[in-house]
Structure 1
Amino acid sequence: MSDWTAIALLVVLLIGNAFFVAGEFAIMSTRRSQIEPLADSGNKRAKITLYAMEHVSLMLATCQLGITVCSLLILNVSEPALHHLVAGPLEHFGIPLAVADIVGFLLALVVVTYLHVIFGEMVPKNATVSLVGQGIALWIAPPLVFISRLLKPIVVALNWLADHTLRLMKIEPKSEVSSTFTLDELQNVVAESTAEGTVEDDSGVLSGALEFSEKKVEEIMVARDSIMTLKFPCTPADVEKAVAQTGFSRFVVEDSKDSTFMGYLHVKDVLSFSDERMHQTLPWSKLRQMSIVRPEADIDDALATMQRNRAHVSHVMTAQGESVGVLFLEDILEQLVGEIKDKTQEHVRRREAASVRAAGS
């Protein structure tokens, strides 16, 4: 083989090494959520890329085999040619053969190492990581899958040995790229994306949704001694009076004898009563039932309970049956979307503000 043929082969091997390095990083860095919509729309490259991501251990075995073979051939093929190209001119200038051989070998080693590390490893790695978001895996995965099928007996054997070695080390091998995030990872993604301006979350809906499941009922419930209640028996007039005084639309009803929570009333429950019936006692059947939740329950579980029972108010009780408070649906929603400004309570806020100013004067 001539020296220049060896140099040309060096370039080919560097390209091959770069391809396998890029394939390794492309398969590991690409998310299924990026590829699946394209595959569902019929994109053939996307379907092959999904196959590669679902057989990641085989793809990595193919890449490692390709990188190893290319790396070994790069040194064996190119070193003699570069050595000869350097040592020959040195001998021509009268440098002793032994010295020329050593200098030629060292220069060849430095050049090959530089080309291999920079163009065979670092450039493809950095380029692939930078272009993952633009779908570079769609172009790398199809030829990589084709090569893996050509070399299937070797690749499967190597992968089998690697998997069993891992199992001996008490490590369970994975055959598919992980496409899930933990809650903490999602929160970090939202925080970083918001900081970089790629996601807008001025209202805090995204961050609130991610923090939603971390909250407990006891953190957002209204304590029992802070609840505005109605005593049973009560009348429609009592409900209207409470609405006028507080601006609230729902009221927990408690037994006037033992203060047991019996249910709750909504203002619209008394709107249909005529003037003649406004001072008549409301029947017990008019009370809406409250669902029961534990103070230590997650609020997303409490929300699911309220949805099943079609209740806007839940009675918070301990496992021992102690009543500790009430959870309103509005309080849960505010954890998700932020404070809800209720126009019906605006006059209450103005009155409270006026009272504070009067007390200060």
Structure 2
Amino acid sequence: MDLFILGLLILLNGLFSLSEIALVSARKARLEHLAEKGNKRAQTALELSNHPEFFLSAVQIGITLISILTGVYSGEKFSANLLPYLMRWGIKPDVAETLSTILIVIFVTFLSIIFGELIPKRIGLIRAEKLAMATAGPMKMFAQLTYPIVWLLNESSSLFFKLFKIRKSANDAITEEEIKTLITEGTEAGTIEEEEQEIIERVFHLSDRTITSLMTHRSDIIWFDENE
């Protein structure tokens, strides 16, 4: 039962980590396309994606609470269970108590990092849009339940930015290099043909060409008079 509860806490931590990375990594263009078709889950995911400070604070609250519960529960239950085994090996009680706590902390931390952070985040990156839509609903509900704390955290963060005069960047426009990178990735993945890639990339170079390189000079034109 103790292991089951520990596993459940770690999985909950993984759910928050997965939803966080999925919502941050999800492509807005894809979510907007699905939302326009009437996909309500995509609409919810897009809403959270457009207000990251709202759901990121909620996610951090969830992860922090779960981490505290995991530490308290594992430290109390598993350390007490391990202590008798260490004492049987002839280790002094005070030393055995400290050692059992250290071993349990290392063990639980390892499980939490692997199954509560790394694996969920890698899964979230691989299936960003799909998982963002799947977890957006529960994350929005959790954020609404913890709204007073979320509001307090956001206001505290805003106050920090004001005190140190840190301004948020308003430049969210996609650059030419980003578009070229997306086109290259699409070509490598087989979504875009190489001929299509060349055509699109030529568009970016069109403004760099002079009028003389596009037109033929009058002196070089060979023409015939229709009346002759």
Instruction: Decide whether the 8 Å contact of 1:186 with 1:210 is kept in 2.
Output: no
Match of 2:30 in 1: 34
Q: Give the aligned length.
A: 226
Distance 1:174 1:46 in 2: 25
Quickly say closer, same or farther: Cα 1:165–1:200, change in 2 above 3 A.
Answer: same
Gapped regions of structure 1 (runs ≥ 5): 231-241, 245-269, 272-277, 280-361
CA distance in 2, matches of 1:59, 1:211: 41
Q: Does 1:243 align with 2:223?
A: yes
Q: How far does residue 26 in structure 1 lie from its aligned partner after superposition? A: 1.3
| Greater share of residues in helix | 2
Q: Does the 8 Å contact 1:17/1:67 carry over to 2? A: yes
C-alpha deviation, 1:120, in angstroms: 1.0
Distance apart, 1:125 and its partner CA: 0.8
Counterpart code for 1:206:
I
Shift of 1:59: 0.9
Alpha-carbon distance in 2 for matches of 1:106, 1:193: 49
Equivalent in 10, 19, 39 of residue 43 of structure 1: 39
8 Å contact kept, 1:35–1:46: yes
Could you tell me which residue of structure 2 aligns to residue 286 of structure 1? none
* Residue in structure 1 matched with residue 95 of structure 2 by the alignment: 99
User: Which has the higher relative contact order, 1 or 2, with Cα contacts under 8 A spaced 6 or more apart?
Assistant: 2
Q: Return the match for 1:201 from 194, 202, 209.
A: 194
Specify whether residues 84 and 36 from structure 1 end up closer, same or farther in structure 2 by C-alpha distance, changes over 3 A only.
Answer: same
Aligned alpha-carbon RMSD (Å): 2.5
Give the alignment partner of residue 227 of structure 1, picking from 209, 215, 218. 218
Change (3 A) 1:193 1:14: same
**Does structure 1 retain, via aligned residues, the 8 Å contact 2:57–2:150?**
yes
Structure 1 partner of 2:125: 129
Aligned position for 2:151? 156
What is the one-letter code of the residue matched to 1:132? Answer: A
Q: What whole-Å deviation, never above 9, does each CA across 1:107-139 have from its counterpart, x for those lacking one?
A: 101101101111111111111001115x21110
Displacement, 1:210? 3.4
- Return structure 1 stretches of 4+ with deviation > 4 angstroms: none
Q: 1:144 aligns with which of 133, 139, 160?
A: 139
Displacement of 1:151: 0.9
Residues 84 and 174 of structure 1: CA distance in aligned 2, closer, same or farther (over 3 Å): farther
Larger Rg: 1
Question: 1:57 touches 1:174 (CA, 8 Å); kept in 2?
Answer: no
1:210 is aligned, of 184, 189, 204, to 204
TM (normalized to structure 2)?
A: 0.87
Instruction: Give 1:185's aligned residue.
Output: 178
Identical aligned pairs, as a percentage? 27
* Structure-2 separation of matches of 1:148 and 1:43: 21
Query: How does the TM-score come out when normalised to structure 1?
Result: 0.57
Shift of 1:221: 4.8
Which is strand-richer, 1 or 2? Answer: 1
Alignment partners' CA distance in 2, 1:227 and 1:77: 87
